[in-house]
Amino acid sequence: MSRKPYVREVPKTTWYFRQGRYMRYMGREVTCIFVGAYALFLLVAIKRLSEGRAAYEAFLEGLSSPAGILFQVVTLIFVLYHATSWFNLTPKAMPVQRGEQFLPGGVIVGAHYAGWVVVSLVVLFLAGVF
């Protein structure tokens, strides 16, 4: 008897509509666009700073415009989602075994949040906030 297996093609561009978990995954991945956008934004800020006081002040003024505020708020939301979704996955990638037990995932996630707070405080200190 001859075989004739039937192959079901996966739609190359619409596969992630098939399941809710694929949509959540794409949601997490899409946030990287906003992380990249904010990195570009910071580079532009540095360039304006290098161009002198007038250029930098004009840049800061632009930030206070409705469009500037909207960009920052939207970016903040997506970057927070990006950071928290990755932090929540860290116990899978970095399990810590002590004797016959693994550290609870919450401890590993918590350590990442603690590290985030420390780095943020250092940045704020260097920026002269304290």
Partner 1 sequence: MSERQIQLEVLRYNPETDSEPRFQTYSVPCEAEWVVLDALNYVKDHLDTTLSYRWSCHMAVCGSCGMMINGEPTLSCKAFLRDYPDTIRVEPLVHFPIERDLVTVIDDFMEKLNRVKPYLIPKEARTIAEGEYRQSPAELKRFKQYTLCINCMLCYSACPEYGLIPDFIGPAAIALAHRYNSDSRDGGREQRQQVIATKEGVWECSFVGACSEVCPKHVDPAAALQQVKIASTVDWYKEHLMPWGKS
Q: How far is CA 26 from CA 16, 32, 83, in A?
A: 7, 10, 15
Site of tokens 């990287």: 32
Exposure of 17 by Cβ count < 10 A (0-12 exposed, 13-18 middle, 19+ buried)? exposed
Q: Which is nearer to partner 1, 6 or 130 (CB)?
A: 6
From 52, 92, 126, 128, residue interacting with partner 1 (rule: CB under 8 A)? 92
- What the block records as the tokens of 102 is 């693994």
Assess 22 for contact with partner 1 (CB under 8 A): yes
Assess 14 for contact with partner 1 (CB under 8 A): no
Amino acid at 20: G
Q: Which is nearer to partner 1, 14 or 64 (CB)?
A: 14
Site of tokens 């190359």: 12
In the bound complex, what is the minimum distance in angstroms from residue 9's beta carbon to partner 1?
Answer: 9
- What the block records as the tokens of 107 is 């401890």
Q: Which is nearer to partner 1, 93 or 129 (CB)?
A: 93
Per CB under 8 A, contacts with partner 1 among 51-90 are 89
| Binding residues for partner 1 (CB under 8 A) | 1-8, 10, 12, 15-16, 18-19, 21-22, 25, 29, 89, 92-95, 97, 99-102
